[in-house]
Amino acid sequence: MPSKKTLHIESSGQICIYCGACVGICPLNCIYLDETRITFDEKVCTRCEICVRACPVGAIEIG
Amino acid sequence: MQNLKTDVLVIGAGPAGSMTAKWAAMSGAKTVMIEKRQEIGSPVRCGEGMSKAWLPDVGIKPSSRWINVEVEGARIFSPAEKVLEINEKHAGNEVGYVVERDAFDKQLAIDAANAGVEVMLKTSAISLLRDDGHIVGVTAKQFGQTFEIRAPITIGADGFESQVGRWAGLPTNLALRDMDSCIQYRMTNVDSDTRYCDFYLGKVAPGGYVWIFPKGDGLANVGIGVQVSKLRNPADVKMYLDKWIAEHPAYSKGKKIDMVGGGVSISAPMKETVTNGFMLVGDAARMIDPLTGGGIANGCIAGKIAGEVAAKAVTANDTSKQFLQAYEKGWRAKIEDKLYRNWLAKEKLCTLPDETFDKIIDALQGVKLEKLTVLNILKAVHDKYPEVTKEFEAFL
Ligand SMILES: Cc1cc2nc3c(=O)[nH]c(=O)nc-3n(C[C@H](O)[C@H](O)[C@H](O)COP(=O)(O)OP(=O)(O)OC[C@H]3O[C@@H](n4cnc5c(N)ncnc54)[C@H](O)[C@@H]3O)c2cc1C
Ligand code: SF4
Ligand code: SF4
């Protein structure tokens, strides 16, 4: 179930290194990586925080 | 962009995709390979170490265009930094090269193109086309335009981040314990020994290891993989690597010139990699060796088989799941046993405390092993630390 928490992927180049680790592990297959652009499907994401743990540089926040 | 038709469609132009496409074309099939990036092989997400014994079998000619260094062996460092040296003889020809991965990937794509493959850059698969229970191609996007590519056989070679496999309904999902999150710096001005690839085990990298792969002239790839289930805080992976480098003067004096990351699957082999009209290959099919984290060789070995089977299926006008079992059986015959054994070994190793790693490596000091097999190692350890081998009874 989508929850009220918000997920933010800092993908402007400040933190994200476009490595695709989050894309490969998201159980709902809802993150997309296009060269240097990361997007995720707000409606599908359950805020399970798995991608937050998998990101090697801490670019994903849930609050 | 107009809709296209081909015999075989390969999604992704990494090593697995290029090998698949090349062998499909060489076996007579009209083949298209699409790649979402604008440059094949870049950015590099790789430690760039690979064994070499498998290359002739899949038709890859070693070339100075992509080989940086030919190493003599590997060194494994325990947490107390006792060293186990593995040379070519022990490792059964498993040692090999440190490569320039972008040049390697480009060469495989060139080989595919020269074999007749149509290569399309900046072209993403965005969904699968289905017809009567068969996958029959993709909807793709290129330069903002959406179009269809129809093919009786579609092959997903879209790497670790594979979405295509899941769209096809194959079980590619990974649990937290089935993945290592990785980061690597390419560093210059470091004292790495170009005779060896080095691996540091234990709590410096829980459920993974720190690697140093030398590229010559004071250049080396210094990277880390950590099992995701063992990560506690955001950015822990980077923290572990930075800490390790800070504690090793030979590397802390080095200068970073690039940084890459990525995910590596460390799971047991997948149960199923084909469905009607569709095959999955390489990282997308979780073919990475769960112990070493290496995936280039397995992707290429399976790619050759996938390409040959795809062409046969087109000729036979039978793209059913049953026909494609030839691929499923073919790749398993070549690599499944080792994937499974190494997965078991990895499952055990991730649970060991640092002291046990130290004992194992200590027990092997000065022991002349004919061949470095799990059994031979355990026998040597048993002579010195019988209590340690109790934990490994399942392997004996
Ligand atoms: C940090 C790190 C270090 C590693 N070190 C080593 C090592 O030292 N030795 C080793 O053997 N292995 C190593 N690996 C693993 C190795 O990189 C992979 O096994 C190898 O790249 C797999 O090849 P592949 O062709 O399956 O996938 P990839 O090389 O990932 O290629 C997949 C391609 O598909 C494209 N693609 C993805 N989605 C789409 C789409 N929808 N449409 C079109 N194209 C798409 C991608 O852009 C990419 O080019 C490492 C991995 C990481 C992350
Ligand atoms: S929070 Fe979970 S569902 Fe949402 S993008 Fe991350 S991994 Fe996917
Ligand atoms: S895991 Fe982190 S760094 Fe890698 S692509 Fe996802 S958000 Fe970016």
Separation CA B207–CA B191 (nearest Å):
26
pLDDT for the residue numbered B94: 61
User: How many structural domains is chain B composed of?
Assistant: 3
Residue B84 shares a structural domain with residue B217: yes
- Check CB contact of B141 with chain A, cutoff 8 Å: no
Query: Is residue A1 scored above 70 in pLDDT?
Result: no
User: Residue B95, exposed/middle/buried by CB under 10 A (0-12, 13-18, 19+)?
Assistant: buried
- Check CB contact of A30 with chain B, cutoff 8 Å: no
E strand segments, B83-218: 83-87, 96-99, 118-120, 123-131, 134-142, 145-150, 153-156, 179-188, 196-200, 209-216
User: Terminus-to-terminus CA distance in chain B, angstroms?
Assistant: 60
Separation CA B57–CA B226 (nearest Å):
32
Smallest Cα–Cα separation from B135: which of B328, B305, B275, B315? B275
* Pair B266, B293: CB distance under 8 Å: yes
Tens-place pLDDT, residues B209-265: 999 999 999 999 999 999 999 999 999 999 999 999 999 999 999 999 999 999 999
Separation CA A44–CA A55 (nearest Å):
19
Query: Is residue A11 scored above 60 in pLDDT?
Result: yes
Domain at A11-58, CATH class: alpha beta
- Residue B59 inside a domain? The answer is no
Q: Which ligand is nearest to the CA of B265?
A: 1
- Residue B54 inside a domain? The answer is no
Ligand 1 centre distance from Cα of residue B103 (Å): 14
pLDDT for the residue numbered B363: 86
* Pair B329, B308: CB distance under 8 Å: no
H-state helical runs in chain B:
15-26, 101-114, 164-167, 236-246, 249-252, 296-316, 321-331, 337-349, 354-363, 374-384, 386-390
Residue B11 shares a structural domain with residue B117: yes
Query: Is residue B342 scored above 70 in pLDDT?
Result: yes
Separation CA A43–CA B195 (nearest Å):
52
* B234 contacts A60? CB cut-off 8 A: yes
- Check CB contact of A62 with chain B, cutoff 8 Å: no
* Pair B180, B228: CB distance under 8 Å: yes
CATH number at residue B317: 3.50.50.60
* B45 contacts A17? CB cut-off 8 A: no
Interface of B with A in 345-364 (CB under 8 A): none
Please tell me whether residue B53 adopts helix, strand or coil conformation: coil
H-state helical runs in B209-295:
236-246, 249-252
Domain membership of residue B26 as a residue range: 4-46+103-174+269-345
CATH number at residue B86: 3.30.9.10
Average pLDDT over residues A16-45: 92
Average pLDDT over residues B340-354: 91
Q: What number of residues does chain B have?
A: 396
Distance from CA of A16 to the nearest CA of B (A): 10
Share of chain B above pLDDT 90, in %: 84
* B176 contacts A53? CB cut-off 8 A: yes
3-state percent breakdown (helix, strand, coil) of chain A, nearest 5: 15, 20, 60
Strand partners, B234: none
Q: Which of A27, A56, A60 sits opposite B261 (nearest CB)?
A: A56
Residue closest by Cα to atom 41 of ligand 1: B125
Residue B183 shares a structural domain with residue B169: no
In testing the pocket of ligand 2, which one of A3, A6, A7, A29 has its CB within 8 Å of the most ligand atoms?
A: A7
Query: Is residue A34 scored above 90 in pLDDT?
Result: no
Query: Is residue B89 scored above 80 in pLDDT?
Result: no
Q: Which amino acid, B248?
A: H
- Check CB contact of A29 with chain B, cutoff 8 Å: yes
Average pLDDT over residues B389-396: 71
Residue B2: count other Cβ atoms within 10 Å of its Cβ.
6
Q: Scan for tokens 């965005």, then name that residue.
A: B126
Residue B169: count other Cβ atoms within 10 Å of its Cβ.
12
Query: Quick one: CA dihedral B276, B18, B331, B180, positive or negative?
Result: negative
Residue B199 shares a structural domain with residue B80: yes
- Whether the complex's predicted ipTM surpasses the cut of 0.90: yes
Q: Scan for tokens 């925080």, then name that residue.
A: A49
HSE (side-chain half, CA atoms, 13 Å) at B32: 22
Ligand 3 centre distance from Cα of residue B229 (Å): 17
Residue B42 shares a structural domain with residue B116: yes
Residue B135 shares a structural domain with residue B28: yes
- Residue B386 inside a domain? The answer is yes
Residue B39 shares a structural domain with residue B110: yes
* B173 contacts A21? CB cut-off 8 A: no
* B183 contacts A20? CB cut-off 8 A: no
- Residue B56 inside a domain? The answer is no
Query: Is residue B396 scored above 80 in pLDDT?
Result: no
Residue B39 shares a structural domain with residue B127: yes
Distance from CA of A6 to the nearest CA of B (A): 16
Q: Which residues does ligand 1 sit against, CB inside 6 Å?
A: B 11-17, 34-37, 45-50, 124-125, 157-160, 182, 184, 223, 260, 262, 264, 282-284, 288, 293-296, 299
Tokens of B296: 């280039």
Picking from B265, B293, B318, the residue at the C-terminal end of a domain is B265
- Residue B165 inside a domain? The answer is yes
Tens-place pLDDT, residues B282-295: 999 999 999 999 99
Report which ligand 1 atom has the smallest distance to the Cα of B16: 25
* Pair B270, B4: CB distance under 8 Å: no
